[in-house]
Amino acid sequence: MKIGIDLGTTYSLAAYIERDGQPALVPDIHFRKNATPSTICLGNGSALVGWQAEGKFEQSPEQIRLLSFFKRQFGNPEPFAIDSAGNAWHPEALAALVLKKLRNDAEKLIGAKLQGVILTVPAHFNDLQRRSTQIAAAMADIPLLGLLDEPVAAALHYGVAHANKGKERIFFVYDLGGGTFDATVLSYHPQAGIDVLAQDGHTKLGGREFDEILQAYIAQQIGEPFHWSAYALLQLRKAAEEIKIEFSDPAKFFIRKTILIGNWHNEITFSRQEFEEQACKVLQETIAISRRCLFEAKIPLESIDAFLLVGGSSMMPLVKQQLAEGLGIDPAKVKLHQPLHAVAFGAAIRAGQLSGNDKLSDLPDGFRGVTGYHAGIRSVNPSTGQFQIDVLIRKNASLNSKGMKTYYTRSAQQDHLLLDLVQYFDHPEDAVSVGQMVIGPLANPRPNYAIEVCLEHTSDGRLQVRAIDQQTAREVRHTFSNRDTETSFFLQQKALVSATMVNMVGESER
């Protein structure tokens, strides 16, 4: 059994291919709901994930901490939480618990062990964040078939349902999820495959920002003083999310609702106009990113066949209106096609292809992506003594792109080179260190000893680095790490995940 998993910031979904070749969602085994909240309650050797975590928290809000939005911290070396036993939990380990829960649900539903998973990631995730996703899968003992960019997954699903056989179509994918935003231009050809032409995005822009608008309005009605307990904050978040979802109905201009927060309750009237005035400020940022992405793709707007809205937050009518007006396009070209499930379904289709499913044999097999960041080496300029960034691979270059530059030792005693691999969107001053590369020891160190550094992107957006001794044309041994103790970090966190029972009582987790 091979499945697809959409590991989301707020909700996660798993999907598989049924016998008729159609994708289907894996429901929560206990609650029979199609999406699992990406929330966790840590216990002593156990953890509740998803709906069970939220239910437990509502029962004992003062004794339990509900963990959420840890995906936004992928790549951050700091712990996200400390459990009652004093164990530090990093974002990758928490995500692994969610993956374990989805794996268990899938295996119980289908009655077979998991053989492989296609795991989706935001298109604009950098190398650190993509590696964090791979680490989470490894900690959950999930056999990873590969990473698939979320917009590509959504386009694959849409293309299967709507693309004409033999005809190339150009899609723009506007993916506004719970915590991230992606803008992607790609071409879809039933035989030739999918080519990503340009991508852009934001790692901390999504439905959470819309929820916060409504949360602020509710808190304003409550006034001060008020004791904001952990449970009251959960009630506030849930109330705001419910109102946001109700405003997805274009027929609703006012919502009158009784709000209960802690020991406070009152009937509040919410105005669509007032909410949208605030939401427009957030959406304008997504429109600016979309314009930038379209400019990078160098595709005329009239050549784009469909603008696909993906992600729960894209269901707000305001999104379609703002996108059409902001880009100057026909609203009829803006399409909503199962926005909540499209990414998981696309991942399942890809997993089914890799399984050799006969029902999917005529689908496009080629996937050609582009880089989401400028990537290069930060080093000290020997002439000025200042740090500089040598860009080896530019943003939106094809993933098979390579870049190289020669670096030199400065003295006879220098038998190692230390270089910093970085990525950034547009401004070098915003560069993020992906990891440190230590090259050596050099066999015969001397001043101006030349080492060529080669940088390459893999098909799933990861970076690979090689160092070549120009004197011998041989590869030089090097170490590359984004943590001081990467191996021990992984083993320690994996041990925590393996020892933790997920949504089970008295049942051992393998």
**Torsion sign (Cα): 315, 259, 37, 83:** positive
First to last CA, the chain: 18
Q: Choose the weakest-confidence range: 107-111, 152-156, 476-480, 497-501.
A: 476-480
* Residue-wise pLDDT tens digits, 397-449: 888 889 999 998 888 888 888 889 999 988 888 898 888 888 888 878 888 88
Q: How far apart are CA 391 and CA 388, in angstroms?
A: 10
Predicted pLDDT of residue 462: 83
Nearest to 156 by CA among 199, 106, 108, 195: 195
In whole angstroms, give the CA distance from residue 89 to residue 496.
8
How many angstroms from the chain centroid is the CA of residue 370? Answer: 16
* Residue 209 burial (CB count, 10 A): 20
**Parallel/antiparallel/unpaired status of strands 169-176 and 306-310:** parallel
As given in the structure block, the two tokens for residue 401 are: 């792109």
- Region 247-270: mean pLDDT is 93
Choosing among 1.10.490.10, 3.30.930.10, 3.30.420.40, 3.40.630.10, the CATH entry for 2-165+339-367+490-502 is 3.30.420.40
The answer for 190, left when phi > 0, alpha when psi is -120 to 50, beta otherwise, is alpha
* CA dist 75 → 64, 215, 435 (Å): 26, 28, 11
User: Do 207-276 and 374-472 fold alike per CATH?
Assistant: no
Q: What span, in angstroms and rounded, lies between the C-alpha atoms of 114 and 1?
A: 5
Angstrom distance (rounded) from CA 409 to CA 442: 10
> To which residue do tokens 């935001």 refer?
122
- Catalogue the long-range contacts made by 20-26 (C-beta closer than 8 Å, 24 or more residues apart): 20/359, 21/352, 21/357, 21/359, 21/360, 23/157, 23/341, 23/344, 23/345, 23/348, 23/349, 23/352, 24/348, 25/341, 25/344, 26/102, 26/105, 26/106, 26/109
Q: What pLDDT is attached to residue 361?
A: 65
Confirm if 193 and 208 have CB atoms less than 8 A apart: no
Give the CA count within 13 Å in the CB-facing half-sphere of 207.
27
Which tokens sit at 238? 């849930």
Q: What is the mean pLDDT of residues 251-263?
A: 93
Q: What whole-number distance in Å separates Cα of residue 88 and Cα of residue 82? A: 5
Task: Kindly tell me if the per-residue pLDDT of 510 is higher than 60.
Answer: no
Residue type, 106: A
Whole-number pLDDT of residue 126: 87
Residue 268's contacts (CB-CB under 8 Å, 6 or more residues apart) are 218, 221, 256, 257, 258, 259
Cα 491 to the center of its chain, rounded Å = 23
* Side chain identity at residue 402, one-letter code: K
- Residue type at 483 in one-letter notation: R
Question: pLDDT at position 164, please?
Answer: 62
User: Residue 348: how many CA atoms within 13 Å on its side-chain side?
Assistant: 25
Cβ atoms of 337 and 162 closer than 8 Å:
yes
Confidence of residue 163 (pLDDT cuts 50, 70, 90): low
Encode pLDDT of 328-362 as tens digits: 999 999 998 889 999 999 999 999 888 877 677 66
- Answer whether residue 369 shows pLDDT above 80: yes
pLDDT at 188: 87
Mapping DSSP to helix (H, G, I), strand (E, B) and coil, where does residue 123 land?
A: coil
Domain 374-472, architecture per CATH: Sandwich (2.60)
CA 360 to CA 345: how far, in whole Å? 13
Q: What is the mean pLDDT of residues 251-257?
A: 93
* The token pair that represents 462 in the structure block: 């990861």
Please state, in angstroms and rounded to a whole number, the distance separating the CA atoms of residues 72 and 95: 11
CB within 8 Å of 119: residues ≥ 6 apart = 4, 5, 7, 133, 137, 142, 144, 146, 147, 148, 347
Report residue 430: phi and psi, to 5°: -95, 15
Instruction: Give the model's pLDDT for residue 458.
Output: 81
Find the farthest-apart pair of alpha carbons in the chain and give their distance in angstroms, rounded: 78
pLDDT (tens digit per residue) in 296-338: 999 999 999 999 999 989 999 999 999 999 999 999 999 988 8
Give the model confidence (pLDDT) of 476-505 as tens digits.
888 776 654 567 888 999 999 999 999 864
From CA 210, how far away is CA 315, in angstroms rounded? 12
Beta strands in 150-301 (DSSP E): 169-176, 181-189, 193-202, 254-261, 264-271
Amino acid at 268: I
CATH code of the region 207-276: 3.90.640.10
Can you tell me the distance from the alpha carbon of 8 to that of 409, in angstroms, rounded to the nearest whole number? 45
Weakest mean pLDDT among 61-75, 119-133, 163-177: 163-177
Q: What is the mean pLDDT of the chain?
A: 89
What is the C-alpha to C-alpha distance for residues 469 and 449, in angstroms, rounded to an integer? Answer: 9
Digit-coded pLDDT (tens) for 23-33: 999 999 888 89
Neighbours of 253 (CB within 10 A): 11
Residue ranges of domains in the chain? 2-165+339-367+490-502, 207-276, 374-472
Q: Is the pLDDT of residue 376 over 60?
A: yes
Tell me the H-state helices in 60-206. 91-110, 127-139, 150-162
